[in-house]
Amino acid sequence: MAIIIQLDVMMAKRKIGLMELAEKINITPANLSILKNNKAKAIRLSTLDEICKALNCQPGDIIEYVEDIDGKQNEA
Amino acid sequence: MAIIIQLDVMMAKRKIGLMELAEKINITPANLSILKNNKAKAIRLSTLDEICKALNCQPGDIIEYVEDIDGKQNEA
DNA sequence: TAAAATATTATCGTAAAACGATAAATAATT
DNA sequence: AATTATTTATCGTTTTACGATAATATTTTA
């Protein structure tokens, strides 16, 4: 099991691209890409706040605790 | 609206105390208290992983985007 | 298929924050 | 009252976000 951050789905639902969302929440596209593709190891609540606001969704829509498909895992 | 981390409810459901959970996820009670009472400004996915594992729950059960009751908010 | 737009990856530097260790204070139990 | 559980605070170290930037890759469009 592992925690994953996935913006893909919600972004698709809201029909919003990386550039547009990045500008909206005031973060560089480069850094947003990291969050989008599950490369982040932590997240600030302020950033999560901006994302949830912009995508009009809940943290649970973005962060999930799932069975790790690949070798991905963030255990202690 | 603001992001809040609330462990209270899930801990109550699981009938687990702060000391026990702290030991289980290998974090000091002092630091866990911070997470428990919405004092944290960020969280590591590894820590969230441990919590979800120990409480057998989803991040969404713990982290929520809610209407800020008090003056609490983590905007940009 | 060439150009343009979009997205990913990487590096460097700075600032923010987690988290441990620890101690002290407060609250809850017994 | 005594014990246990929880909260709060401070200090130091380490981790990581995130900006800035550039280069690369991918996708879209003319």
Determine how many CB atoms are found less than 10 A away from the CB of residue A61. 18
Does residue A9 belong to any structural domain of this protein? yes
In the predicted model, is pLDDT for residue A4 greater than 80? yes
Nearest-angstrom CA–CA distance, B13 and A70: 31
Higher pLDDT, A22 or A67: A22
In the predicted model, is pLDDT for residue A1 greater than 80? yes
The continuous run of DSSP H or E covering B41 comes out as none
What is the distance in angstroms between the Cα of B47 and the nearest Cα belonging to chain A?
7
Does residue B10 belong to any structural domain of this protein? yes
The tens digit of pLDDT for each residue in B5-47 reads 999 999 999 999 999 999 999 999 999 999 999 999 999 999 9
Does residue B30 belong to any structural domain of this protein? yes
Q: Is the CB of B47 less than 7 A from some atom of nucleic acid strand D? A: no
Q: Which residues touch strand C (CB under 7 A)?
A: A 17-20, 29-30, 33-34, 36-37, 39, 42, 44, 46; B 26-28, 30-31, 35, 40-44, 46-47
Determine how many CB atoms are found less than 10 A away from the CB of residue A30. 9
* CB-based contact A45 B42, cutoff 8 Å: yes
Domain interval for residue B51: 2-66
Q: Tell me, in Å, how far CA of B8 is from C1' of D6?
A: 12
CATH code at position B48: 1.10.260.40
Does residue A76 belong to any structural domain of this protein? no
The tens digit of pLDDT for each residue in A10-66 reads 999 999 999 999 999 999 999 999 999 999 999 999 999 999 999 999 999 999 999
Which nucleotide is nearest, taking the CA of residue B46 and each C1'? C18
Q: Count up the domains in chain A and report the number.
A: 1
Model confidence, pTM: 0.93
- Judge contact between B49 and A5, C-beta under 8 A: no
